[in-house]
Amino acid sequence: MNWQEYEDETTEDIIEYIKMKEDDGFEEAAQAAFHVFCFRFGEDLVRKCEVICKNNGLDKHVAAMISQRTFHRFWKYPKYNHEKSRAADYDTGVKFYLYRIAQRELLNWRNEQNSPYTGEEEIVCEMPEPDYNNYAVEKR
Contact 46, 67 (CB under 8 A): yes
CA angle 87–64–3, rounded 5-degree value: 70
Q: How many CA atoms are closer than 13 Å to the CA of 65, on its beta-carbon side?
A: 11
Contact 108, 139 (CB under 8 A): no
pLDDT at 132: 73
In b/e form, how buried is each residue of 45-55, taking b as 16+ CB within 10 angstroms? Answer: bbebbbebbee
Q: Is the pLDDT of residue 140 over 90?
A: no
User: Using CA atoms, how far apart are residues 32 and 21, in angstroms rounded to an integer?
Assistant: 10
Read off the pLDDT of residues 2-56 as tens digits, 9 standing for 90 and up: 777 778 889 999 999 999 988 878 888 899 999 999 999 999 999 999 999 999 8
pLDDT at 137: 58
Q: What is the mean pLDDT of the chain?
A: 88
Q: What is the DSSP letter of 87?
A: -
Q: Is the pLDDT of residue 67 over 80?
A: yes
pLDDT at 127: 84
Confidence of residue 135 (pLDDT cuts 50, 70, 90): low
| Selection from 41, 56, 42, 32 nearest residue 93 by Cα | 41
Q: What is the pTM (predicted TM-score) of this model?
A: 0.78
